[in-house]
Amino acid sequence: MRRTNTFEVVPMSEVDEELLRRVMDATASLWNELTYERRQNLFDGESVWDTEDYRMQYVGVLGSASAQQAIRKSGQAWRGFFDSDEDDTGLPGYWGNEDEGRELHWFGRNDQYTIQWGDRSRLEIPVGKDLKDEYDLTGRLRLEVRGEPRWDGEQGQLEIQYDEQRDRYRAYQPVEVDDSHPRLGTPLADESAALDIGANNLVACTTTTGEQFLYAGRDEFERFRETTREIARLQSKLPEGRYSSHRIRRLYRKRTARRDHAMEGMARDLMERLHARGVATVYVGALTDVLETHWSVRANAKTHNFWAFSAFIDRLETTAEEFGIEAEERSEAWTSQECPQCGSTDRTTRHRDTLTCECGFEGHADLVASETFLQRHAATKRFRPMARPVRYEWDSQKWLESPRSHRPKVARTNP
């Protein structure tokens, strides 16, 4: 299975940083030229694969192998587009321009770079002959590495990205990990859990141990909407014929990075809790059910734009695998409308977070849905009485228990 090491890359001098930025800028320039030609070919009804040999144009700066790797990465993006059901709005895009700034990337094959881990970890990457001559560089560009490898195994393609918001260079190194890797956990028992992924709350979770967790999402969604409104305001002020700017692209990246950070933290926090409680199987609602259910304009803004369900479910499943938990996607149809007391789906009413039924039942809609979902797919399990749910909120760094959690007082004083 594949896992990814993430670490910071630090130039060892101002000259090294200038050299690194020129290499990464050239990679972005190559990407943009190739993207433009492939887009034009597509619109003209020609093959997107019939392009100029950009490797020869950039070999002096990037080196032959690095230029070829960037071209291969572009090919992967275009094959992904053709394999998907997206329209032309999902075409591979550009990485900025020379006047307003480009998004900086660098790609290297597994045999192009070397990493030495230790007290003074180092990364070496190749540079084209023209830059070597200009900077009087012999050998490869050497960079400092900060961080520790979480995974060891056969290394894959390395990618370096410049994070403009934090003014840092981040490296991503996929590695092939053996199933017996000591970091891959094993279940402590044979319990189960079910996740209801909603438009207002990121996840509502119920376990067969009798516990419920709720990860709130409204605050993060509102931050997302505020940034989206600012992007729209800036776009409205652009001159005719222009569709973006350096500031707009920076806001897009900031919005995505903030969302992904919260989701990554939530996935890990949840799986750590489930693993500690002996959960071996977690049921996740199928994506199509969620997208068909949340049909309003505001809810669609959450399901399609903010939550990015497909990528989020992939993250959940990958993190679960790391803890030895099996994630199974199952249908959760009608779980949000079914009354757990009488089983009716046509006598219930949902208003915001509350589900009520004519039989007299009233409860938290998302938590009720996760409990119904669990009972439906873990029918052979004997459920313990449900404890009062614990609510978690994101503080921009980690998920903390909210003061609004409804828990017995003894649980608060004896965690």
pLDDT per residue rounded down to tens, the chain (415 residues) = 778 888 999 999 999 999 999 999 999 999 999 999 999 999 999 999 999 899 899 999 999 999 999 999 999 989 888 877 555 556 888 887 766 677 899 999 999 999 998 888 999 999 999 999 999 999 999 999 998 888 888 889 999 999 877 788 999 998 888 766 666 677 788 899 999 887 678 899 999 999 999 999 888 888 888 988 898 899 899 888 787 888 888 888 888 888 888 888 999 999 999 999 999 999 997 654 444 444 444 555 555 556 667 778 888 888 888 888 988 888 777 787 888 888 888 888 888 788 899 998 888 888 998 999 998 888 666 667 677 889 999 988 889 998 765 543 333 333 3
Look at residues 126, 156, 191, 208 and name the one whose alpha carbon lies nearest to residue 374.
208
Looking at the structure of the chain, the number of domains it has is 2
Instruction: Determine the Cα–Cα distance for residues 55 and 280; give it in Å rounded to an integer.
Output: 49
For 18, the domain range is: 2-176
Kindly give, in sequence order, each residue whose CB lies less than 8 Å from that of residue 32, ignoring residues fewer than 6 positions away. Answer: 94, 95, 96, 97, 102
Q: Which residue bears the tokens 């409990």?
A: 371
**Cα(340)–Cα(402) distance, integer angstroms:** 26
Q: What is the pLDDT of residues 150-178, one digit of tens each?
A: 888 888 999 999 987 778 899 999 888 87
| pLDDT score of 340 | 85
**Within a domain: residue 7?**
yes
Q: What are phi and psi of 158, to 5 degrees?
A: -95, 140
Same domain as 207, residue 109: no
Asked whether residue 166 falls in the same domain as residue 216, the answer is no
122 with 168, same domain? yes
Tell me the C-alpha to C-alpha distance, in Å, between residue 250 and each of 72, 126, 231, 259, 397: 26, 29, 10, 14, 21
Within a domain: residue 250? Answer: no
The token pair that represents 193 in the structure block? 């859990």
Are 198 and 122 found together in one domain? no
32 and 153 belong to one structural domain: yes
Same domain membership, residue 45 and residue 89: yes
Residue 237 included in any domain: no
In this structure, is residue 227 part of a structural domain?
Answer: no
Are residue 13 and residue 51 in the same domain, yes or no? yes
The residue count for the chain? 415
Check if the beta carbon of residue 227 is closer than 8 Å to that of residue 234: no
- What is the pTM assigned to this prediction? 0.66
The rounded distance, in Å, linking the Cα atoms of 370 and 291 is 17
Same domain as 196, residue 172: no
CATH code, domain carrying 399? 3.30.420
Position 230 in a domain? no
Residue 351: CB atoms within 10 A of its CB come to: 8
Q: Are 130 and 60 in contact (CB under 8 A)?
A: yes
State whether the Cα torsion 358-363-369-372 is positive or negative.
Answer: negative
Q: Answer for the pair 122, 116: CB distance below 8 angstroms, yes or no.
A: yes
Q: What is the 3-state secondary structure (H, E, C) of the chain?
A: CEEEEEEEEEECCHHHHHHHHHHHHHHHHHHHHHHHHHHHHHHCCCCCCCCCCHHHHHHHHHCHHHHHHHHHHHHHHHHHHHHCCCCHHHCCCCCEECCCEECCEEEECCCCCEEECCCCCEEEECCCHHHHHHHCCCCCEEEEEECCCCCCCEECCEEEEEECCCCEEEEEEEEECCCCCCCCCCCCCCEEEEEECCCCEEEEEEECCCCEEEEECHHHHHHHHHHHHHHHHHHHCCCCCCCCCHHHHHHHHHHHHHHHHHHHHHHHHHHHHHHHCCEEEEEEECHHHHHHHCCCHHHHHHHHHHCCHHHHHHHHHHHHHHCCCEEEEECCCCCCCCCCCCCCCCCEEEECCEEEECCCCEEEHHHHHHHHHHHHHCCCCCCCCCCCCEEEEECCCCEEECCCCCCCHHHHHCC
Q: Does residue 142 form part of some domain?
A: yes
Please tell me whether residues 275 and 168 are part of one structural domain. Answer: no
Q: Are residues 196 and 91 part of one domain?
A: no
pLDDT, tens digit (0-9, with 9 covering 90-100), for 302-323: 555 566 677 788 888 888 888 8
Please indicate, yes or no, if residue 375 is contained in any of the structural domains.
Answer: yes
Same domain for 399 and 289: yes
Q: Is residue 139 located within the same domain as residue 288?
A: no
Is residue 21 included in any domain, yes or no? yes
| CA distances in angstroms from 366 to 351, 352, 384, 398, listed in the order given | 11, 10, 19, 22
